[in-house]
Amino acid sequence: MTDATSSAPVSDLHELRAVIRQFSSERDWLRFHTPKNLAMALSVEVAELLEHFQWLPTGADHELDAAAREGIRHEMADVLVYLIQLADHTGVDLRNAVLEKMELNARKYPVELARGKADKYTALVAAPTSAADGDRR
């Protein structure tokens, strides 16, 4: 399946957007879905997702039981629903936004500087190429 405007395959996000639009429309909820309200709801759902990991050492799979996994799955779905709705109401193509952001991140976090580091891009510096280079300040 392709968009009428391009030969690119229609993403699963478009399918989800249509399902979400129909669900909201059937309940006459679209009038409540302002960008501000959707952003606030998204924030709340992210906080609810975080609750499942609160107080766990790492949140690794072995620390989660079936009920926790189900709750996490449902909260992640809520986050995605609100994110898709927010993108829909603000005209953002999420697929293209992600690809654009990954390109920007690749420039901010070059592999040779960022590999194995959790530093913010502003803290990444090239390693000195010689002992003399390391002495300059």
Q: pLDDT, tens digit, for every residue of 39-70?
A: 999 999 999 999 999 999 999 999 999 999 99
Where does the pLDDT of residue 129 fall: very low under 50, low under 70, confident under 90, or very high at 90 and above? Answer: low
Domain with 18, as residue range(s), is 12-135
Q: Is residue 94 in some structural domain?
A: yes
pTM of the model: 0.79
3-state DSSP call for residue 89? helix
Assign residue 73 the CATH number of its domain. Answer: 1.10.287.1080
Q: Report the alpha-carbon distance of residue 30 to residue 32 in Å, rounded.
A: 5
Q: Is residue 4 in some structural domain?
A: no
Number of domains in the chain: 1
Q: Is residue 3 in some structural domain?
A: no
Q: Is residue 6 in some structural domain?
A: no
Lowest mean pLDDT among 24-38, 40-54, 95-109, 118-132: 118-132
